[in-house]
Chains A and B, each alone.
Chain A
Amino acid sequence: MPLEGPARIVSELTSRGYNAEREAVTHIAAADHPAAVLEQVVEEMPDDALVVRTDHVEAVLAAGVRQPTSAQDSASDPEPDPDFDTDSVPDTPGADPSVSTGERSADQHDPTGSVPAETGGSGSAADTDSKPSARVERDTDPSLRSLEIDGDMTGDSTGTGEYDDFVAVFRDRLERLGGKLRGRVNHRPATAIQSMPGGSEAGMVGLVNDIRSTASGHWLIELEDATGTFPWLVMKDREFADMVDQLLCDEVLAMEGTLSDDAGIAFVDSMYFPDVPRTHEPSTADRHVQAALISDVHVGSQEFMADAWDAFADWLYTEQAQHVEYLLIAGDMVEGVGVYPNQDEELDVVDIYEQYEVFNDRLKQVPGDLDIVMIPGNHDAVRLAEPQPGFDDRLRDIMSAHDPQIVSNPSTVTVEGVSILMYHGVSLDEVIAELPEEKASYDEPHKAMYQLLKKRHVAPQFGGHTRLAPEEEDFLVMDEVPDIFHTGHVHKLGFGKYHNVLAINSGCWQAQTDFQKSVNINPDSGFAPIVDLDTLDVTVQKFS
C-alpha cells in the first residue's frame, strides 16, 4: 500500500495546521522513524511557515532524529490550526482531542485496526437542509483506503494533430466498442455486405456516419466500418424507430437486417448499442465510507459562492461527515480567463494563476485527511479539446493543498473497489440539444448521462459542440463499465441509476451569472452529493 504512509503523514501534518510538499512527505515516509521525524519537523518549523518543504525535512534528517519519547505525548499536544476557526471546535467529552489523537496514534502502530464502531447508517438519513453541526475531530483510518487511477492520459498526449491521428482514434473506437457488439450480431464488413445478393440477411458493426429521414418518414442510417459504409433503413413503423432519435453521429452501433432486392440498402430488424449490461452488478466498498462528488467550483468568478463553500468545508468536520474520506472534483476549479468575451469584467480574480492560488486556499479549508481527485474542465487552463490532460506542473505546484491527485478528463478512479468515471461533461450540452427532451434535459442531466453510458462513450459526436484532440487511442471510450459516472459542467444537480450504474451530475459553486439569467437558467448551486461507497446510495447536502 504505497499510498498509505504518505496519506497518513499528510493527515497528521494537516491536523497540526501544515500543508506539505509532496517530496517532503516522501522524505518523511522514507525515514526510519517517520513519526519521530514528523514530530521533529513540526517542532522545528519556523513560526510563519505553513507548508512543510523538502528542505525542512532534510534539515531535520541531517541533524539526526531524536527517538520519540512517546507517541501519546507528542500527539496530545497539537498545534493550533491556523486554517480553521478553532472557536467552533466544541468542547464536548466525546470529541476530546487527546483521546481521538491517541486512538489515531494507536492506529499508526496497528494498520489493521478495526472499523470504528459508529460506522453505518448515518448517510441515508441526511437532512438536506441541515446546518453544519458541531465540528468534531475527524477519525479516519487512512490505512483502510485505496485509490487507483485508470485512463489518466496526462503526459501521454502523443498526437501531433495529423490526419492519421484522427483516423487512428476513430478506428480505435470502432475496435474497442465494436468488440462489445460483434458477439451479438453475425457481422460482416461493409464491403462484404455491398457484394451480397439481395434478400440476404446481414449484420454490421460500425460508426454512425449519417442519419437522415427519408421523404416517406423512414430513417436512413449510414454505418461505417474500416472497409466502407453501408446504408441501413429503419422503417418508421418498427418498434425501435424512436430509438433513432437517440442516435448521435460517430457512436458505435450494431445492426442486423435484410438486404433489399437490389442489395443497395438493408432493412433493419434489430439494433444494438454497446450499452451497460442489465445484469451489471456494481462493486461496493467493504466498509462504510463516503465520497463527496462535486464540480464547477469556479473560483475567481464574481459569482463564486464563498459562503456555501465555507459551509461545505465546515460541514466536512462534523459528525455527519466523518465518513467522507474522498473528495472528487469533476472540473472547472476556477472561472478561467478568456472563456468568453469580456470575461475580465466579470472576474473577481483576473489573474489565472491567482485564481488557482485562491482555489488552493479553498482546498485547504477541507479536512487534510481527505483523499482528493481532480480533473480539469472547460474553464480550466488546459486545452479544451478532449481528452484534456491534467494540469501542468506550474498549476500542480499551486494546487498542492492536501496533495490532490490531478488526472486527465476523463479518468477512472477506483476507490475501495468502486470505480468512478470522472468526466467534466461538455458533451452533455450536445446530447441535450440533439436528443428529445424526455431523453435528456438540463433539468435531469443524469438522463443525458444514461445516454452516454448506453453508448459507452463520453463524447461520441465529432464535428459538433465537443472538441476532439486526436491521440493514439480513444481515451473517451468507456472500456469497462464504471460503478459510478460523475460529471458536472451543466451546473445542474441530478442523479439516478442506469442498469445499476450510478450517474451523478454535481451542481456548482457559482451563483446564477448574468448570462444564465439572460437565458433563464437556474443553476443548482452549493450542493454536494455524498455517495455511500458501500451501498452507492446518495445523499445531497445543501450549503446555500
Chain B
Amino acid sequence: MRTEDERYFEQLESQLEAAFEVAEEAKERGGDPEPDVEIPTARDMADRVENILGIDGVAERVRELEGEMSREEAALELAEDFAEGRVGDYETKAGKVEGAVRTAVALLTEGVVAAPIEGIDRVEILTNDDGTEFVNVYYAGPIRSAGGTAQALSVLVADYTRALVGIEQYDARQEEIERYAEEIALYDKETGLQYCPKDKEAKFIAKHLPIMLDGEATGDEEVSGFRDLERVDTNSARGGMCLVLGEGIALKAPKIQRYTRNLDEIDWPWLQDLIDGNYAADAEDDEDADNADTEDGNDEGDSDEESETDAEGAAETDEVDPDDETSDEDSDDDEGPPRVGKSEKFLRDLIAGRPVFSHPCAAGGFRLRYGRARNHGFATAGVHPAAMHLVDDFLATGTQIKTERPGKAAGVVPVDSIEGPTVKLANGDVRQVDDPAEAKEIRNGVEAILDLGEYLVNYGEFVENNHPLAPASYTPEWWIQDIEAAGADIQALQDDPRIDLEHPDPDEAIEWALEYNAPLHPMYTYLWHDLTVEAFCALADAVAAGRVERRLDETGGGVDILVLEYTEATREALETIVIEHRQREGSGEDDGRIEIDDWRPLARSLGCEIRRTATDGSSHSPGANVSPDGPDASTPSATIELERTWSDDDLSECARTWGHEDQPDGSNAVEAVNEVAPFDIRERSPTRIGNRMGRPEKSERRDLSPPVHTLFPISEAGGAQRNVADAAKHAETMSDTPGIVEIQIGRQQCPSCGTETFKNRCPDCETRTEPDYRCPDCEQSLDPDDSGRVECGRCEIEGTCVETREVDINDEFRSALESVGERENAFEILKGVKGLTSSNKVPEPIEKGVLRAKHDVSAFKDGTVRYDMTDLPVTSVRANELDIDVGQLQALGYEEDIHGEPLVHEDQLVELNVQDIVLSDGAAEHMMQTADFIDDLLEQYYGLEPFYELEDRQDLVGELVFGMAPHTSAATVGRVIGFTSAAVGYAHPYFHAAKRRNCDGDEDCVMLLMDGLLNFSRSFLPDKRGGRMDAPLVMSSRIDPSEIDDEAHNMDIVSQYPREFYLATLEQADPEDVDIQIGEDTLGTDGEYTGFEHTHDVTDIAMGPDLSAYKTLGSMMDKMNAQLELSRKLAAVDETDVAERVIEYHFLPDLIGNLRAFSRQETRCLDCGEKFRRMPLTGDCRECGGRVNLTVHQGSVNKYMQTAIEVAEEYDCRDYTKQRLEVLEKSLESIFENDKNKQSGIEDFM
C-alpha cells in the first residue's frame, strides 16, 4: 500500500474513532437497549466474518489461514477446528457442524451478505432407519444470496465436519428421494431456479447426499405426492433446500469435486457420475411417479400464466441457457461483414410506460463505441446527454436499461465525448445534435430520430459477461492509431494547434486518407453498411447530377454547398447513411432540393470526381480537385462539377452481393464504396445495441409505510396514521382513562431495586435494567444460557420476557417531550408503530421519535435513518461538478490532479479515493436534516455537545456515512466528497463492490455515521426470517480490493485501447485474448487503490435530465402514451411490436391475472382486516361482525381493458392479439354485466 493510501485510511479511521468515542459516551447515558455502540468495526474480512457470526476466535484463525490457502480450503480447515473444538465453544455435535457450515458460508461471501446467519436456520441430528445418527442442515430462503458455490460448499463442509465428529451418513428413504424431485420441480415452477435439475438428476443427488438437506417452507403451493413425510415438516416447497440442491450441488458439482478429492475422510464418488450425466441407470427404479402430478396437458392456462409473470425472474437467471441469438460468431468465414447476432431477450416482459429505444441490432439504434468514461464501467452504459433529452427525457443519469449485450442490464451514465443522435426536424433539417442544450431547444421540432448516437461500453463489460467482442465502431481513437500505423507523425499532428484530430475539416480528412493511404476519418465515414448497393448506385447518380452552389456564410466568407434534386430515394439514402443535410420539399423557388454542406467526402466516397470548370467550360485536371477549396483557390466565376467515374457494371461481384448472411445480397454498400472511393473506408458502426428502459433511477428517503418516527408500539390506538398524540388521548370507552393502551412489550427488571418496567433504564434508580425472562407455563424466572437461549428446565419450553401490559402512552409521550424540552407543536405528527416485531419487543425511547419528527426524518426497522440512491461508479471528479471548491478537496487530502499536476483549479480532474462518495442533492438535504436530528439528540437527550453543527451542505463534505445494500449485513464506511444534481449516488466502483452491488440499476442506502452508531440496535430487528438482512451488524472501516465482489475487478483502467483491440473486435475475439489492463491486474500491488484511468472524459457527471420522464409523468396512461409516441419517432423501433409487447407482457397478464384472481379471491373485513378464504355464509365478518368485502373488484380487473383495445387498434396489432382481447372483454362482460339488464332501452321504462 502506498503511503498516501495508508494516510487516507488512517484519516478515515481516526475520524471514525472520534465519532465512536462520542457515541460510546452517549450510549452510556441514554436509555438504549444496549449501553454500547452496536455496530462493531471490522478492518478486514476476518473481522467481518467473526462479527457477523458472533463466534469468537474465527477472525484470528481466518487471518492465519488466509495467506496460505484459498478461502475454500480455509473453510475446510476451519471445519476441522470446529470439529476438534479449537474454534467455537460448542458442546454438541450439531453445534459444531452448524458453526463450521456457517463459517464456511460467511468466509465464501466475505462476511458481507446475510446468508450465513439468515440462510442457515439450524443443524440437527436425526436418526436413520437403522438407528444411526445423521446430520440435517436446515436452510432458508436467504441462502440464495450466498451464490451456488458457497451453497454447494456448505454441504461439503457439513459432511466433512460430520465425518470428523463421527456421525453416520444420511440414508434417504425412497419417499424422501421422490419428494426432493417433486419439490424441486414445484419450486422451479413457482419461483424459478437458475438451474433446475431434471427429476432423475435430483433423485440421484438426493439418494447419494451424505447429509440431509431440509428447510422451511417458502411458498404456498404444496407438493401433491409424498406429503406428510415423517422427517419433512412441511408439504410446501423448501426454497433454501431447492436452491442448495439445484443451483448448488447440481450446478457446481465440478467445483466441489476439486475439494472432495483432497479429503480422505469423505468420499463423494457419485459426483463424477453426476458431472458425466451418468445417473440414468441408477434412477430407473424410481420412474413410476413421474407423471402423476400434472394437469390436463393443454389446460395449463393457469400454470403458464403464472410462469409468464415469472418470466422476468427466469430471464434474469437464465445464465445456463444458450442465448437465443442467431449467433454467427463462430462461423467466421470470409463471406460478409462481421456482425453480432440478434438477441430479443431484453424485450421480454416489456411493460407499459418503459419505452424501447432500439430493437435488436436495428439500424438507427445506439452504435457501440468502446471506451470507459470516468463515470462509467461496472455494468453501466454511456449515452450522449443530447440523446437522453431527445428520447423525451426517458433516460436520465442512473436510469436502468435492459440491454441486448454485453450484459443484461446497465445503468445509464451521461457521456458527452461521444457522438450525439441525429434527428430530422419538421423543417427538413437533418442534424446531428451534440449539445444537450440544443437538444432541449429543438426537441419539439423533432420528427424522427434517425440515429441515437453512440453508446459507450467499456472493454471490462465484455470480460465480465464473457461475451465475444462485438465489432467496434470506427472512432477517432482508432483512426489515430490507424493513421499512425500508416506512417503519419501523429505527434506532430497532435501538437499542431490548427488541427483537431477528433473533428478535422473535410479537406484535411481527405488529404490524410490519400496521403497516408489510411482509412478515411470516422467523422466523414458514413453508415454505408446500412445502404444497399442499389441505393448506393442511385445515390452516386443523384450526387453526380447535383450542382454546387456558393453561399455566403455569417462571416461573409463563401462556402460551397451541394444541391441535389429532392427525391424520395435520395432522401432515404441520405437518412440511411446519417449525414447532415437539409431537405426542402415542395415546389417553391428554394424547394424541391436537398442541400449538403460538407459534401466533398461524400462525393469522393461515392466515386465522383470533383472538377472545377471555368465559366468557359474547360475543366481542370483531376489532380487539382484535392486542393483545399479555400477562397483563395477559386474565382467566383468558376463552377464545380461532379462526375461519376464508374458505372454499376464496374463493381465486382463481391461488392455487388456484399452483405451479412442474414441479409439479402447487396444490402451492404461498404465494399462498393471501397471499390469506387479513392481511399479506404471502414465500417462506421457495425454493431448496434438494442435496449429498453428498465426501472427508473432512484434518489429517495427510505420510509416505512406508513413512515415511523419512533419504534414505540401504540397498538391500534393511534389510528391508521399510528399517531402517538392520538394514542395518548385514546380511550376505548368513556370509562377508560385516556392514553392507557394495552400493548405487547418486553418486561425488564432493575437489578438493584427490582422495579419492573419496559424501559432500559430503571425509572426509579436510573440503573440499567435487564430482560426479565419467565416460563410462560410455570411463571418461573429464567436466565439465558451461554448461547442466548432461554428455556425452562422444568417445562422444557422457551421462556420469554414479552408480556401484554397496559402502558400509559399519554404519560410516556408527555414525559418524553419534557425530557427533550420540546413542545408538541415542534412537529406535525409523531408516528409510532402498531406493535414490535423483535423477539424481546424492546421499545425505543419516545424521545428519539420526538426529535426525528421535529426534523422530519423517519426510522427504518432497525432505528436508523436511511436514504436510497441508485449506484453509479465514478473514478475521477472535478471540484466544480461536485459543488465544492479546491480548498475542500485539499482538506480531504487531494493534492494532485490525475496528471500529477498540483491541484489549483476547480476544473482539474482528481482521482477519487475508494471510499469517497458523491451525494445526490436530495440525499445531501436529507443528511442535513439527519445531522440536525443527531445534534439535537446529543444535546437534548444524551446531554452532550452537538456533533455536526452544519450550517450549509458544504459542511457535509468530509463527514462519514455508512453505505449499506439490501440482503447484506455489513455496512461500509464512506466519506462525503461532494454533491450532484443527478438522482444517483456516485462512488468509486470498489465502494459499490464492497457493498456487493454493481451499477446496473441497483440501489442501496446511505446513513449518517453518527445516526447508525447511536440509533441502531439489534434488539429492534424483527424476529423472523430475513430480519437481520439489511441491518448493519458490522461495518467495514476500510476497503480491501481483494475482498470485494470480484465483478469490479473486471473493470478496465487504461486511458487508451490499443489498435490490436479494435482489430480483434472485428474478429469477434474472446475478450480474454486481448491485453488491456483491468483492476484485477493491480490487486495486491501498491497500485491497487489508484491508477483508474479512463478513455473518455465527460464535462459533468450530471448531464441530461435530472429525472427520467417515467418519474415526472403522472399516470400509467400518460407514461404509456409517451412510450408509444416515442416509439413512432425512433427509426430503430417498430411501434407495432412495442404495442404488441405492452399488451402481451403487461395488459394481458394483468387482465388475465386479475380475472383469475377475481374468480378465486379471498375476502377481507373492512373493519378489522380479517381475511376469509371464502365469503362467509353469514355475509358478515365472523370475527367482529363488520362488513366484509371483496379484495379484487371489477375496477381492478378491467382497468386496462379499454386502453388495451384502443392500443391494439391504433398500432395495428395482430388479429391474434386483438382476438385475445375480444375474448377477454366478452368474459368480463359475462361476469360483470347482468344479461337481463344489458339492453335497457326506452321501452324498459315505459
Residue ranges of A at the interface with B (Cβ–Cβ < 8 Å) = 155-164, 166-167, 170-171, 174, 206-207, 209-210, 213, 224-229, 249-250, 298, 301, 335-341, 344, 350-353, 378-379, 381-385, 389, 392, 426, 428-429, 432-434, 437, 441-442, 462-469, 489-491, 510, 512-513, 515-516, 519-523
Contacts and interface: CB of A to CB of B under 8 A. Distances in A.
A164 B1194 CA distance: 14
Contact of B1174 (A250, A441, A469): A250
Given A170-B1177, A227-B1178, A442-B294, A161 B1219 contact: no
Given A341-B308, A469-B1230, A512-B297, A167 B1175 contact: yes
B1156 interface: yes
Contact of B299 (A160, A207, A379, A437): A379
B1177 A341 contact: no
A223 to B, nearest CB: 10
B1236 interface: yes
Interface string B264-303: 0000000000000000000000000011111111111110
Contacts of A516: 297-298
A539 to B, nearest CB: 25
Nearest to A468: B1159
B1088 interface: no
A425 B1220 CA distance: 23
B772 to A, nearest CB: 30
Interface in B1172-1210: 1173-1179, 1182, 1188-1190, 1193-1194
Nearest to A384: B1227
B292 A437 contact: yes
Contacts of B307: 341
B1179 A155 contact: no
Given A337-B1216, A433-B224, A463 B299 contact: no
Contact of B1160 (A225, A437, A463, A513): A463
Given A224-B1176, A441-B292, A468 B1160 contact: yes
A519 B1177 contact: no
Interface in B78-132: none
A344 B1220 CA distance: 11
Given A160-B1234, A429-B299, A340 B1148 contact: no
B304 A344 contact: no
Contacts of B295: 429, 432-433, 465, 490
Contacts of A379: 298-299
Contacts of A161: 1158, 1193-1194, 1231-1232
A491 B1178 contact: no
A429 B1148 CA distance: 24
Contact of A157 (B1161, B1190, B1223, B1235): B1235
Contacts of A170: 1174-1175, 1177
Contact of A163 (B299, B1188, B1219): B1188
Interface string B1088-1131: 00000000000000000000000000000000000000000000
B187 to A, nearest CB: 16
Given A250-B1174, A489-B299, A520-B294, A160 B1232 contact: yes
B1230 A382 contact: yes
29 contacts: A156-B1236, A158-B1235, A160-B1233, A163-B1175, A166-B1175, A170-B1177, A224-B1177, A228-B1182, A298-B298, A301-B298, A337-B1220, A340-B300, A341-B305, A341-B307, A352-B1219, A378-B299, A384-B301, A385-B1158, A432-B295, A433-B224, A462-B1160, A463-B1161, A467-B1156, A468-B1159, A469-B1230, A489-B299, A515-B298, A515-B300, A522-B291
A172 B1098 CA distance: 72
B732 interface: no
B907 interface: no
Interface in B724-759: none
A510 B1156 contact: no
Contacts of B1175: 163, 166-167, 170
B1226 interface: yes
Nearest to B1194: A161
Interface in B613-661: none
B572 interface: no
B1163 interface: yes
Contacts of B224: 433-434
B24 interface: no
A248 to B, nearest CB: 12
Contacts of A513: 297-298
Contact of B297 (A159, A171, A467, A519): A519
Contacts of A489: 296, 299
A340 B305 contact: yes
Contact of A350 (B296, B1178, B1216): B1216
Given A160-B1233, A462-B1174, A513-B298, A337 B1223 contact: yes
Contacts of B299: 339, 378-379, 426, 429, 489
Given A157-B1231, A341-B307, 17 more contacts: A156-B1235, A156-B1236, A207-B1177, A224-B1177, A228-B1178, A339-B298, A340-B301, A341-B305, A344-B1216, A352-B1223, A463-B1160, A463-B1161, A465-B295, A491-B298, A513-B297, A516-B297, A519-B297
Contacts of B1235: 155-158, 389
Contacts of A467: 1156, 1159-1160
Interface in B296-339: 296-302, 304-305, 307-308
A109 B713 CA distance: 90
Nearest to B303: A340
Given A160-B1233, A226-B1177, A463-B1174, A510 B293 contact: no
Contacts of A510: 298
Given A166-B1175, A249-B1174, A433 B293 contact: yes
B304 A341 contact: yes
A465 B221 CA distance: 12
B1215 interface: yes
Contact of A338 (B225, B1148, B1194): B1148
A215 B348 CA distance: 46
Nearest to A514: B297
B665 interface: no
A464 B295 CA distance: 14
B225 A437 contact: yes
B1190 A520 contact: no
Nearest to B1224: A338
A158 B1236 contact: yes
B1162 interface: yes
B1236 A469 contact: no
Contacts of A335: 298
Interface in B1117-1170: 1148, 1152, 1155-1156, 1158-1163
Contacts of B298: 298, 301, 335, 339-340, 379, 491, 510, 513, 515-516
Given A156-B1236, A433-B224, A389 B294 contact: no
A107 to B, nearest CB: 40
Contacts of A225: 1177
A110 B707 CA distance: 87
Contacts of B1226: 381-383, 392
B289 to A, nearest CB: 9
Contacts of B1227: 382-385
Q: Give the one of B291, B295, B1163 with max A CB within 10 A.
A: B295
Contacts of A378: 299, 301
A229 B1174 CA distance: 13
Contacts of B228: 213
Contacts of B1224: 338
A469 B1234 contact: no
A213 B292 CA distance: 24
A23 B160 CA distance: 83
A71 B1223 CA distance: 48
B291 A520 contact: yes
A389 to B, nearest CB: 6
Nearest to A492: B296
